[in-house]
Structure 1
Amino acid sequence: MSGLYLAVDLAVLAFPLLLSFDKRVHFFGQWKDFWPVNIGVLIFFITWDVFFTQWGIWGFNPDYLLGPEWLGLPMEEWLFFICIPYASVFTYATLKHYVRRNPFRHSAITLNMAAIAITAGLSYWYSDAWYTFSASALLCVFFIWSAVNYVAWSHHLWIAFFVLLTPFIITNGVLTGITFWEYPLLHNDAGQIQDSIVWYAGEHTTGWRIFSMPVDDLIYGFLLIGLHIAGFEALQKRRLGLGPYSD
């Protein structure tokens, strides 16, 4: 028994939590906009997680868990849906404060349209792979909603996603392959992955991996971050009395 999964969770949370009291960003003061959203999104993802775990679409290696479980999910998995979103929304808020010339300001709509096409294609092509299908279909709906409502913060979401991409791959790499750097950058041979904290049924993914992480995790991760930011922005604008289209 090892606390590796818990260590990953806490490592992700530590730096953003310590910097939450920075006087300029003052993310601590925005907790009232984060925690209600986190609870709502957590309930949705935990429900998804419970069913997929019961159905054997993914699961957890007890060798890297400390033991306590709720609804069939290890404690560390529950914490994942707190630590990852907290670090992600903190990063989003920090970038929004400091980056005055967002490189995606004029390309966010194009990126959203491309994302709709890609996720729609994946959900159609992999309709029998439940992880790929469900994550792609839900993210497609999210981007369609973003396009229809012309959300003013899309360019902030995109820069946050690309900044978070490397730490996300590292974090999920450890979860899905421990020594993930030993595997090829891009491959479709999950059989060579010898040890992991989280495992996946290959028939329910695209089969492609970035190091040890299924590429499906990028879709899942974007949805997790996107839903948090959508809710965070909505609560913040309502609290500040700003219109829905204000940046």
Structure 2
Amino acid sequence: MSRYLLINFLIIIFPFLGSMLFYKHTIKRLHRFFISFLSVGIPFIIWDILASKRGDWAFNSSYVNGLRIFGLPLEEILFFLTVPYACLFLYEGIKFFIFDTKVKIPSRLFILSIGLAFVLLGFYFIFTPYTSTVFFVTGLTFLMLSLCFSFLLKTVHYYIFIILTFILFFIFNSILTGIPIVSYSKDAILNIRLGTVPLEDFFYNFSMLTLYLGIYELLGEKSPIKGV
């Protein structure tokens, strides 16, 4: 087993076992996860493919198996399944164990302004490919938070989710970038790091998981979309 595959295994094993313990609860929500994957995971994988071909990052062949799909190691594609699944399982646990309280959120205009600021940063760093793209995507995420997923900002569960996933992300991404399984081109990032983790990866993590969660919850029992 490659090291990257082992990391995927460690990420998914406890959420998977937990899902088996509460399989009735899990089955009712599986369609929401797969729709989230199709809506968010696939575009992020396409981004990954294009960025890899452009040379924004590369994968150390010593720590992945030989199977590649559109130039990406199989383990990298699995990462877009194991990480969101584990994080959404964590979110369900947060909702189960922690009493929700409503949070007073900033105005829609303020959230939109943050999104616009990230878009402008994307243009400012247009010649730094990964930085520029991740800022554009973060801007889009704030736009979605303002227009479609504002319900997330009203619950304390979302903020706990973001904090806990940031901690877990930092641990696992430190392993990926520390070994390194993944290395970044100096021309593609700002070269500002927390430990071995590039600054851009934090925005990447925030955007991907927020978009996953937004669609997952939009399809939930309390969704304004009826009959899903």
TM-score higher than 0.5: yes
C-alpha distance in structure 2 between counterparts of 1:25 and 1:220, whole Å:
32
> Hey, what does 2:99 align to over in structure 1?
100
For the Cα contact (< 8 Å) 1:127–1:133, is it kept in 2? Answer: yes
Deviation at 1:148, TM superposition (A): 2.9
Kept after mapping to 1: 8 A contact 2:149/2:214:
no
- Provide the rounded CA distance (Å) in 1 between the counterparts of 2:209 and 2:134: 13
Contact 1:120/1:140 (<8 A) preserved = yes
**Alpha-carbon distance in structure 2 between the residues aligned to 1:242 and 1:214:** 36
- Name the CA distance, whole Å, in 2 between partners of 1:53 and 1:176: 15
Say which is worse superposed, 119-128 or 62-71, in terms of deviation: 119-128
Q: Which moved more, 1:33-42 or 1:227-236?
A: 33-42
Query: What does residue 164 of structure 2 align with?
Result: 163
User: Take 2:144 and 2:217, find their aligned partners in 1: how far apart are those partners?
Assistant: 15
* 1:75-125 Cα shifts (integer Å, max 9, x gaps): 1001000001111111122212322144x7225769956853663454244
- For residue 130 of structure 2, what is the aligned residue in structure 1? 131
8 Å Cα contact 1:59/1:199 also seen in 2: yes
Provide the secondary structure at the position in 1 that maps to 2:103. Answer: coil
Deviations 1:108-154 (A, max 9, x none): 76995685366345424422211111111111112122213462122
Letter in 2 for 1:83: T
Residue correspondence of structure 1 range 131-210 to structure 2 within 5 A: 131-149=130-148, 151-154=150-153, 155=155, 156-178=157-179, 196-210=180-194
TM-score, L = length of structure 1: 0.80
Over 3 Å counting, the alpha-carbon distance change for 1:75 and 1:166 in structure 2 is same
Letter in 2 for 1:18: L
Preserved contact between residue 217 and residue 223 of structure 2 (Cα < 8 Å): no
- Matched residue type, 2:169: F
Kindly provide the CA deviation profile for residues 33-79 of structure 1, in whole angstroms up to 9, marking residues without a partner as x.
11122133222111111111111111100000111111111010010
Take 1:208 and 1:232, find their aligned partners in 2: how far apart are those partners?
32
Deviation for aligned residue 1:227: 1.5
Does residue 221 (structure 1) correspond to residue 205 (structure 2)? The answer is yes
1:219 deviates by 0.7
Distance in 2 separating the partners of 1:69 and 1:173: 23
Aligned-pair identity in percent equals 26
User: Does 1:41 find its partner at 2:44?
Assistant: no
State the 1:207 CA deviation.
0.9
Aligned length: 222
Q: Which residue identity is paired with 2:224? A: G
Classify the secondary structure of the residue corresponding to 2:211.
Answer: helix
* CA–CA distance in structure 1, aligned partners of residues 189 and 199 of structure 2: 8
| C-alpha deviation, 1:241, in angstroms | 6.5
The amino acid that maps onto 2:104 is H
TM-score (norm 2): 0.86
Inter-partner Cα distance in structure 2 for 1:19 and 1:112: 35
2-structure distance, mates of 1:150, 1:174: 32
The aligned amino acid for 1:36 is I
- Please report the RMSD computed on the Cα atoms of aligned residues, expressed in angstroms: 2.5
Ranges in structure 2 where 5+ consecutive residues have no aligned partner: none
Question: CA distance change for structure 1 residues 59 and 108 in 2, over 3 Å: closer, same or farther?
Answer: farther
